[in-house]
């Protein structure tokens, strides 16, 4: 009896959800819905033995996971190429027409959220995952289950994967920020909510989801994208009501114009229009480039320009001592973020644009790019504006600034400048350096000012100040312990991370890796001569001199000794085959998708055999490994006459060792 009633209630609630979210045609009132939910909750509480995994009551969250599990996408999750104007849209259409004479399209709104893959087994949601790098994403099932527009059970008991976009409506975003959160835009808020271990947080954030892609349509006798959208809607997914079939380029331009105008009336943010070839066999003929389908593209709305006032021009000091002017602006909203700072790069930039304190300026922000001042609105000047003058003393330590030949930038030469030191400490903890999570700029600044953190070795004695640190505002037992644990873990890092973290001039991640691999330990690197270092492939005399100069200084030698005493690993830990191999000291570029490896796996294998993997093809590249759907990198490699291996070739070479 009870079990039957539970089943019945779940059926009624699921049906109500489908009508409300998918069809946008509710047939029961909110009160009736609430009554069903209440009855279900009560029954489940009193009879937990009958509680079903796919019960809508589980949407309130509560499941907490320990860590995000990695998920491999069987069909890679590709992203889209971009077009920015009418001319590029026409060129896209022309490219399509070379393969498909009379293409029909579907135009869709480009929802500004984060893409998600949803896997259903036997009609039940079993896995939700983020895109990640396209091949490997993160399992976010616990959070996806809290999103009401994602059905827990679909209308047919089939196995299926669908893809779409998780987003946050403008209203939910505003409410969230009014309640004390400080997200820059709805996309960040949605991404931040999905990346939570505790699903209660996602449940409280009111996320939504539109489904727009069926990766494996052949399984369901579907021949067009539009039918795939219809099919997914029938299953209970929410598809966007503004998706539209497009017969020719004229209709496409009209669709774009319409939504460019109506964009602000939508309850969620969009950042462009997606254009997809409708016929699936046409899509197949067109195929893919390395990263994108050739049968689709995204028209991106132009970067928004807004006017605001320059309140002040301030100067910041970076880790190298470079002093950069930035505009302190009257806060304005651009592309969904509130902007109050724009970089002014250097003295030449400011003077060539004649940007003055008090000026009204047009600023622009495109995507995640740092906002830029486009131009000064000189008509708005009233004579009170103050002309820009570059400073000649460090704003922090007041040392006389220097200019390096040929460079537009000024530098603070003071070794002990607190700004430089703090920036270096921030760099030391950063992701590609020692990767010590939990240190924001503010914490480093506070710890520095309190005297706990002056140089890198101080990280490893922070535990001595645990009691005092716990008393600081914003800290507690747990956060300090997490921080200390992260610091402890960083001791085990492989040598290349430390070399990068030390902020040696000209030593970026790639150079750090080459040095670590060649010298294996910091001692042998410190003993090396200028010739030893400069002889290494991809390391020139400038880097060699910089490394030699760094380790020549006694204070650096003392620092290394201290770090050693605290137990920081100083050895290269990646497992590298020391024998000469087909890969030794060769530079590789990976492009396209490999069937048997993820990018990271392939990179690891190459590195373990002594090769170096870089991201762009140049004359210095020795081998390009091209998977399927390889694109411009492969073309470039061919142009440059670089050796090209396909996956089979790669596997053959690997199997020799």
Annotated active-site positions, please? 110
Mode of pairing for the β-strands spanning 410-411 and 322-334: antiparallel
Q: Residue ranges of the alpha helices (H) in 323-381?
A: 347-353
Instruction: Kindly indicate which of the ranges 73-81, 248-256, 427-435, 629-637 contains the residues binding ligand IVH, using the contact rule CB under 6 A.
Output: 73-81
Burial status of residue 140 (CB atoms within 10 A of its CB: 0-12, 13-18, 19 or more): buried
Hey, which residues between 256 and 275 contact ligand IVH (CB under 6 A)?
274
**Does the footprint of ligand IVH cover residue 110 (CB under 6 A)?**
yes
Considering only the stretches 77-85, 374-382, 425-433, 615-623, report the one whose residues sit in contact with ligand IVH under the rule CB under 6 A.
77-85
Binding-site member from 22, 55, 115, 130 for ligand IVH (CB under 6 A): 115
- Which is closer to ligand IVH, CB of 165 or CB of 513? 165
Chain centre distance of CA 410: 32
The DSSP H or E segment spanning 130 is strand 124-130
Among residues 240, 269, 266, the alpha carbon closest in space to that of 21 is found at 240
Q: Which stretch binds ligand IVH (CB under 6 A): 110-118, 149-157, 357-365, 597-605?
A: 110-118
Which of the ranges 63-71, 106-114, 313-321, 440-448 carries the binding residues for ligand IVH, by CB under 6 A? 106-114
Q: How far is the CB of 124 from ligand IVH (least distance, A)?
A: 24
Say whether residue 213 binds ligand IVH (CB under 6 A): yes
Residues 78, 238, 329, 376: which binds ligand IVH (CB under 6 A)?
Answer: 78
Chain-centroid distance of CA 538 in Å reads: 29
Strands 612-614 and 587-591: parallel
Residue with tokens 């600034």: 401
Kindly tell me which residue out of 80, 119, 235, 625 binds ligand IVH, with binding defined by CB under 6 A.
80
| DSSP-assigned letters across all residues of 530-574 | HHHHHTSTT--HHHHHHHHHHHHSHHHHHHHHHHHHTT---B--S
The CB-of-199 to ligand IVH minimum distance in angstroms stands at 22
Cβ-closest residue to ligand IVH? 115
Minimum gap (Å) between residue 77 Cβ and ligand IVH: 7
Q: Decide if 464 contacts 450 (C-beta within 8 A).
A: no
Task: Name which of residues 279 to 298 contact ligand IVH (CB under 6 A).
Answer: 293, 296, 298
Length of the chain in residues, anyone?
657
C-beta atoms surrounding 656 within 10 Å: 9
- The DSSP letter of residue 160 is E
Among 76-84, 230-238, 428-436, 620-628, the segment contacting ligand IVH (CB under 6 A): 76-84
Total residues contacting ligand IVH by CB under 6 A comes to: 14
- Specify whether the CB–CB gap between 588 and 624 falls below 8 A: yes
165 touches ligand IVH by CB under 6 A: yes
For ligand IVH, give the closer residue by CB, 259 or 388: 259
Lay out the site mask for ligand IVH across 296-325 (x = CB under 6 A, - = otherwise). x-x---------------------------
Measured distance CA(289)–CA(332) in Å, rounded = 38
Residues 6+ apart with CB under 8 A from 381: 356, 358, 359, 360
For residue 116, the minimal CB distance to ligand IVH (Å) is 8
Min CB(243)–ligand IVH separation in Å: 8
CB of 112 to ligand IVH, least distance (A): 7
Q: Are 388 and 313 in contact (CB under 8 A)?
A: yes
How far apart are CB 117 and ligand IVH at their closest, in Å?
11
When asked if residue 212 is in the footprint of ligand IVH (CB under 6 A), the reply is yes
Min dist. Cβ of residue 130 to ligand IVH (A): 10
Task: Identify the residue among 17, 37, 58, 108 touching ligand IVH (CB under 6 A).
Answer: 108
Q: Which of 27, 38, 72, 79 binds ligand IVH (CB under 6 A)?
A: 79
443 secondary structure, DSSP code: H
3-state DSSP percent of the chain in helix, strand and coil, to 5 = 40, 20, 35
Contact between 225 and ligand IVH per CB under 6 A: no
Under DSSP, the state recorded for 21 is I
Binding site for ligand IVH (CB under 6 A): 78-80, 108, 110-111, 115, 165, 212-213, 274, 293, 296, 298
């Amino acid at each position: 009896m009870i079990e039957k009633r539970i089943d019945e209630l779940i059926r009624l609630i699921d049906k109500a959800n489908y009508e409300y979210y998918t069809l946008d045609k509710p047939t029961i009132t909110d009160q009736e819905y609430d009554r069903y939910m209440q009855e279900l909750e009560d029954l489940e509480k009193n009879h937990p033995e009958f509680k079903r995994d796919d019960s809508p009551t589980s949407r309130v969250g509560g499941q907490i996971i320990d860590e995000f599990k990695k998920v491999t996408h069987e069909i890679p999750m590709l992203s889209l190429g971009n077009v920015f104007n009418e001319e590029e849209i026409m060129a896209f259409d022309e490219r399509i027409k070379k393969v498909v004479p009379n293409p029909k399209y579907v135009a869709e709104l480009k929802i500004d959220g984060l893409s998600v893959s949803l896997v259903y087994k036997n009609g039940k949601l079993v896995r939700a995952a983020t895109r990640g790098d396209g091949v490997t994403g993160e399992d976010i099932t616990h959070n996806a289950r809290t999103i009401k527009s994602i059905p827990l059970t679909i209308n047919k008991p089939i196995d299926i994967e669908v893809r779409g976009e998780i987003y946050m409506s403008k209203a939910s975003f505003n409410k969230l920020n009014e309640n004390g959160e400080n997200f820059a835009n709805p996309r960040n808020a949605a991404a931040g909510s999905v990346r939570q271990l505790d699903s209660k947080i996602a449940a409280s954030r009111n996320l939504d989801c539109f489904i727009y892609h069926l990766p494996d349509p052949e399984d369901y006798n579907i021949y067009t994208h539009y039918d795939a959208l219809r099919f997914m809607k029938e299953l209970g997914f929410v598809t966007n009501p503004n998706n539209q079939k497009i017969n020719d380029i004229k209709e496409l331009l009209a669709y774009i114009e319409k939504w460019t105008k109506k964009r602000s009336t939508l309850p969620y943010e969009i950042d462009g229009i997606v254009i997809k070839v409708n016929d699936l066999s046409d899509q197949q003929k067109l195929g893919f480039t390395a990263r994108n389908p050739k049968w689709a593209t995204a028209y991106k709305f132009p970067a928004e320009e807004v006017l605001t006032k320059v309140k002040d021009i301030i100067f910041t000091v970076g880790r190298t001592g470079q002093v950069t002017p930035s505009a302190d602006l009257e806060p304005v909203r651009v592309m969904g973020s509130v902007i109050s700072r724009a970089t002014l790069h250097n003295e030449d930039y400011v003077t060539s644009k004649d940007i003055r304190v008090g000026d009204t300026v047009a600023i622009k922000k495109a995507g995640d790019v740092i906002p830029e001042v486009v131009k000064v609105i000189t008509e708005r000047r009233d004579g009170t504006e103050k002309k820009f003058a570059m400073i000649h003393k460090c704003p922090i330590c007041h040392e006389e600034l220097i200019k390096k030949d040929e460079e537009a930038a000024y530098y603070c030469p003071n070794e002990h400048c607190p700004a430089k030191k703090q920036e270096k400490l921030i760099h030391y903890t950063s992701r590609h350096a020692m990767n010590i999570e939990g240190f924001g700029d503010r914490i480093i600044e506070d710890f520095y000012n309190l005297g706990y953190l002056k140089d890198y070795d101080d990280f490893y004695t922070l535990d001595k100040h645990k009691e005092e640190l716990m008393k600081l505002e914003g800290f507690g037992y747990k956060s300090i312990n997490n921080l200390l644990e992260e610091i402890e873990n960083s001791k085990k890092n492989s040598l290349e991370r430390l070399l990068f973290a030390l902020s040696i001039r000209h030593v970026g991640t790639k150079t750090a890796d080459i040095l670590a691999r060649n010298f294996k330990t910091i001692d042998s690197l410190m003993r090396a001569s200028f010739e030893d270092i400069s002889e290494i492939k991809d390391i020139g005399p400038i880097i060699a001199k910089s490394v030699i100069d760094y380790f020549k200084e006694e204070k650096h030698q003392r620092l290394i000794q201290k770090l050693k005493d605290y137990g920081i690993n100083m050895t290269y830990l990646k497992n590298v085959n020391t024998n000469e191999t087909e890969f030794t000291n060769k530079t590789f570029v990976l492009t396209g998708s490999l069937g048997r490896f993820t990018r990271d796996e392939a990179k690891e294998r190459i590195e373990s055999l002594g090769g170096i993997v870089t991201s762009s093809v140049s004359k210095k590249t020795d081998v390009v490994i091209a998977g399927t759907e390889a694109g411009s990198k492969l073309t470039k490699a061919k142009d440059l006459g670089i050796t090209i291996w396909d996956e089979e070739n790669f596997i053959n070479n690997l199997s020799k060792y």
